[in-house]
Chain A
Amino acid sequence: MNEPLLVFRGIEKSFAGSQILRNVDLLLYPGNCILLSGKNGAGKSTLLKIIAGLETPEQAEIEYSGESHSWKTVIRSIRKNIIYLHQQPFLFSGTVLSNVAYGLRFTSLNRKQRRESVIEALEWAGLTDVATQDAKTLSRGVQQRVAFTRAWILKPKVLLLDEPMANMDHESREQTSLLLRRMKSSGMSIVVTSHMQQYYDGLADQHFHFKRGRLVP
């Protein structure tokens, strides 16, 4: 494989004295998909949130372009390239359109570019027909797609997905799977957590399993 995009090393995390992550390393490559599995409470979500800068680890190093930095000092600057998606996405009050456009206001795009980008994203995900609907009233599968689109529109380098296909019917899973494939082929580095390895056949390039706080192949 080519150069890794980002390397996380030595992640340590505990909650209330019990250690959840022990010396976890994770190498993220562009256009690559990692599948993480493990029991409930193993620490999968916690790991993804640390990578996204939403949880603070006790210890972690981040390497990029050949240099190593502590998590604390660089997470602020790299987190804008990393997006975490919850197992059950939270859609903000408002329309599908306003949800999809949410993150664009923090980019350097001007009003016109943002508009074009929203239109393109809605088409990309097949959401044009529901663009003006109240996001909270949509079915779970469609909500998940809105959450994907809301992330995709920001063109992150790394996408972290927590159980994206849990409790989905077959059709929603197919659609989600298709979106994931497209994201991957556009060069994003993807990490998914799941109990259902079979959903990710042909998508995941690597598979790691949590065992007592450590990641094993």
Chain B
Amino acid sequence: MSGLLINTQQALQLLLSGDPKLWSIVIISFSVSLKAIVLTTPLALLVAFALNHGNFPGIRFIVAVFNSLLSVPTVVIGLFLYVLLSRQGPFGDLRLLFTQTAMVIGQMFLCFPILVALGYAAIQAADQRVWETARTLGAPSWFSMLTVFYEVRFGLLAAVLTGFGRIISEVGISMMVGGNIMGYTRNITTAIALETSKGEFAQGIALGLVLLTLAFLLTVFLSYIQGKKEFAA
């Protein structure tokens, strides 16, 4: 028990003293996951919108597929991507395995279905009159779509935050296609896994605290948004 206390104390010291090794890991985590979410969001929202307003066969099936993809294990995505990117794989020539780019791509696969499914639900909650009003007032389709997005912005923001929370805390993809290279692809979760296996708990706890704080802030913010959503409705 006192060991845990001492480790936690050391962890806090690491965090507060601005330990460069520790913070570079945190920065890598955020940089990779922010890139992934920023690159995924526009396409995912377009798909979510098309599923709501489109008029083609199989829409319900596609929505069901996205919903079931919500629970795909990250190691499966990691494995799939590893096979694609490995030397002998179809994209082996790109030399992307064990790079941040590979991590970004993997995390994009992970958050895409989350953003589509939650974005779809958010857009579905929008009043049909939003689209009709925008169109009849002369807005082109793309602007009418942005108007719909704006009216359900809290729901969409909640979708994006949920997706971000998921990818920044995942281990499987980062470990498998990132390779946990210090200063390059080692992020919070892979570092925790490594430090713990080495018996160095202080750094693991410090990084865990960063993740927990983030999770806490995301949750608080999400419930704040939830309140906004209900107020707007």
Binding site for B on A (CB under 8 A): 49, 52-54, 79-80, 82-84, 86, 88-90, 92-93, 102-103, 106-107, 136, 150-151, 154
Contacts and interface: CB of A to CB of B under 8 A. Distances in A.
Interface in B126-170: 127, 129-130, 132-140, 143, 147, 150-151
Given A90-B127, A93-B151, A93-B232, A106 B138 contact: yes
User: Counting chain B CB atoms within 10 Å of each CB, which of A53, A89, A92, A150 scores highest?
Assistant: A92
A92 B135 CA distance: 13
A103 B132 contact: no
B135 A86 contact: no
A118 B132 CA distance: 22
Contacts of B133: 86, 89-90, 92
Nearest to A49: B132
Given A84-B132, A86-B133, A90-B130, A103 B138 contact: yes
A57 to B, nearest CB: 15
B135 A54 contact: yes
Interface of B: 127, 129-130, 132-140, 143, 147, 150-151, 232
A104 to B, nearest CB: 9
Contacts of B127: 90
Contacts, number: 50
A83 B136 CA distance: 5
User: Counting chain B CB atoms within 10 Å of each CB, which of A83, A88, A90 scores highest?
Assistant: A90
A54 B139 CA distance: 12
Contact of B136 (A52, A92, A93, A107): A52
22 contacts: A52-B136, A53-B135, A53-B136, A54-B135, A79-B136, A86-B129, A86-B133, A88-B129, A90-B132, A92-B130, A92-B133, A92-B151, A93-B151, A102-B134, A102-B137, A103-B137, A106-B137, A106-B143, A107-B138, A136-B232, A154-B137, A154-B138
A82 B232 CA distance: 29
Nearest to A107: B138
Nearest to B126: A90
Contacts of B138: 80, 103, 106-107, 154
Contacts of B129: 86, 88-90
A103 B151 contact: no
Given A49-B132, A83-B136, A92-B151, 11 more contacts: A54-B132, A83-B137, A89-B129, A89-B133, A92-B133, A92-B147, A92-B150, A103-B138, A106-B137, A106-B143, A154-B137
B140 A106 contact: yes
Contacts of B140: 106
Contacts of B135: 53-54
A90 B151 CA distance: 11
A103 B139 contact: yes
